[in-house]
Structure 1
Amino acid sequence: MSDWFPELARQEIERQAGFALVDVFDELPSTSDHALANLATYSQQLPALVVARKQTQGRGRGSRSWFAGEGALTFTAMLGTKDTPIEPHHWPRCSLIAGVAMCQALEGISQSDRFQLKWPNDVYLAGRKVCGILVEKRDAAEPVLCIGIGVNVNNSLEHAPSDVQQRAIALTDITGQQHFLPEILLDFLIRFQSLCQQNVESLANLLPYWRDHCLLTGRHVETRQAEQTIEGECGGIDATGALLIETSAGQLPIVSGEIVRW
């Protein structure tokens, strides 16, 4: 272990969040790629966590990349069927739960009211992206839920190119402080577990928070799934996690796809 992630922090995550394994690396191309490449091994020690001080080839949704400099929080949590009360066929719900859990964790640490959620799980701060989340389901000996997260925390974007500054931000750019990454990680894990318990049947308990933090509500958005494009005014989400779009043909729930314009 090192100063950025001391041994005591690893032990506290194992104890308080109930993880069987916390695997910490100085650098990885991608925590999710590493987790999936070694899934057969990790699946014997679930729930497991892969954390990297620096990630050089992080993955976002689709073909997107997530490049996180030193000072970012990058990790992938692997959960089996016994590690979450939500049934595997409802695991897409965990994508939205993870977004809310991280948004709440960052709010609590920064005491800022400028956080918002962009469906399904991106976290925005002051109108710019601060956290990206990629949720994937894989089958090993049993189904495994892999939650890959990158958060701009101490990797200030103050001196980044202007186009990067327009779309991304780091927590330290708002707080003016350096933050202890394991503390944010542990807070997220505990919140995620609690929210899963609260939203076993549906996401109804999540709706009030989402309503208050939705980046897209009232905006004209365009979504795309395969070759189908749907556009209209966003009306938030429903208890299944679907994005609600008011179109000329009425309200349509979008359960998957990509927001290409907003």
Structure 2
Amino acid sequence: MPFESARSLAPVTVLPSVGSTFDVVDPRAAALSTWATLDQRAGRGRLGRAWVAPAGRCLAASILVRPTSPPDAWGWLPLAVGLALAEAIDPLVPTATVSVKWPNDVLVDGAKVAGILCERRGDDVVVGVGVNLVLTPDELPTDRATSLRIAGARGEAEELADAVLAGVLRGIRDASDLADARLHERIAGRCSTLGERVRVLLPAGRDLVGTASGLGPAGELDVDVDGRRERVSAGDVQHVR
């Protein structure tokens, strides 16, 4: 049965193909219900970006989450999912370094392997996850991206997708208290953005350039800019090298 490990943790609907897994989420379903595919035709990422990949090469999944934490802690959710993804990927690529990039990416050796998109729907949050499984270098959208296969993961796409999705579901289940300081410490320890020189493209079109120094109480990014602290709750972050 496909996604056997993930199905042992939550109801998983496997779609042969779909426009976007976001569009098939049933708000009446049980918490952690998941819609997953290896053939998403019209996915979307942050800031309205398209997310398209060859069939059978990437995992796309949407997970229905019902947070029990106060809404002011929900900003930690994409970071907690990133942590769960990173921990699920770790054993698949044992010679690589897996990290979380604020606010919603997972990197392997500094290149993007996965992205996260959280969309609030009333009292629920739909968590979208996209993971590059077995893409080859010439199939990648950018030279700043990678795949589990390129990073050394073995196994077929379906097997890798199951391992990753099970890890994400387990991590979301275990991170039920998004206000937990221990969870925040684990995220900070895995976040490769911290300590980096960064450029933050803010929603209003303004840029910040400085050093990422920490995470705020709601999962914001603190950036030291010319001796002053700027706290960023939303923005596109580039690691400046």
Do these two structures clear the TM 0.5 threshold for a shared fold by scoring above it?
A: yes
Output the CA distance in 2 between the equivalents of 1:209 and 1:219. Answer: 19
TM-aligned CA deviation for residue 213 of structure 1: 3.9
- Aligned equivalent of 1:31: 21
Please state if 1:171 is matched with 2:148: yes
Counterpart of 1:54 in 2: which secondary structure?
coil
* 8 Å contact from structure 2 (residues 102, 191) kept in 1: no
CA deviations on 1:199-222 (whole Å, 9 max, x unpaired) are: x42455332453354145231323
Higher relative contact order (CA 8 A, sep 6+): 2
Equivalent residue pairs, number: 235
TM-aligned CA deviation for residue 226 of structure 1: 1.8
Output the CA distance in 2 between the equivalents of 1:254 and 1:128. Answer: 23
CA deviations on 1:43-66 (whole Å, 9 max, x unpaired) are: 222222111121111110012111
Please state if 1:68 is matched with 2:53: yes
2:28 to 22, 38, 44: 44
Please state if 1:160 is matched with 2:139: yes
Output the CA distance in 2 between the equivalents of 1:228 and 1:165. Answer: 25
- Aligned equivalent of 1:138: 121
* 8 Å contact from structure 2 (residues 210, 223) kept in 1: yes
How do 1:1-262 and structure 2 match up within 5 A? 5=2, 9=4, 12-15=5-8, 17=9, 19=10, 21-35=11-25, 42-47=26-31, 48-69=33-54, 70-80=56-66, 84-139=67-122, 143-154=123-134, 156-160=135-139, 164-175=141-152, 177-179=154-156, 180=159, 181-197=161-177, 200-215=178-193, 217-248=195-226, 250-259=228-237, 262=240
Unaligned 5+ segments in structure 2 are none
Q: TM-score when scaled to structure 1?
A: 0.80
Unaligned 5+ segments in structure 1 are 36-41
Q: Which of the two has greater helix per residue?
A: 1
Structure 1 runs of 4+ with >6 Å offset: none
Q: CA RMSD in A?
A: 2.3
Output the CA distance in 1 between the equivalents of 2:163 and 2:205. Answer: 42
CA deviations on 1:148-195 (whole Å, 9 max, x unpaired) are: 0000112x223337xx35111110112152251212211221122213
Sequence identity percentage: 22
